[in-house]
Amino acid sequence: DYFLTLDEPMNNITTTLGQTAELHCRVSGNPPPTVRWLKNDAPVVQEPRRISFRATPYGSRLRIRNLDTTDTGYFQCVATNGRSTVSSTGVLFVKFGPPPTASPGSS
């Protein structure tokens, strides 16, 4: 049987500068779906050692390291398996953290 299911809606994440965020797209289907990632309706561009996404047993995972406030936005995963399409959207909000105390001399 052909099917495509969004197993769980994407989570919203609020985090601070310099952290790592992971967004999970939990989908299942037959045939197995391919997943695309969008940020504010534009395709997510992978950056070496910073932004990456990969297929996982549950669907797909998007990881963004060393977060900047410009990473804030609406992230959407779109899963397609040729017969149908499902999508889920989550919000990533990157805020300025408390000022660092461990490194004197930094502005």
DSSP string, 51-94: EEEEEETTEEEEEE-S--GGG-EEEEEEEE-SS-EEEEEEEEEE
Count CA atoms closer than 13 A to 33's CA, side-chain side.
27
pLDDT tens per residue across span 92-105 = 999 987 766 665 55
- Position 104 scores a pLDDT of 57
What is the spatial distance between Cα 83 and Cα 26, in angstroms, rounded to a whole number?
18
Instruction: Say what the pTM is.
Output: 0.87
Amino acid in position 16: T
Domain ranges of the chain: 3-95
What is the spatial distance between Cα 72 and Cα 95, in angstroms, rounded to a whole number?
8
- Cβ 37 vs Cβ 53: under 8 Å: yes
Token pair of 105, please? Answer: 């001399």
- Cβ 39 vs Cβ 75: under 8 Å: yes
The residue ranges of the chain whose pLDDT is under 70 are 99-107
CATH of domain 3-95: 2.60.40.10
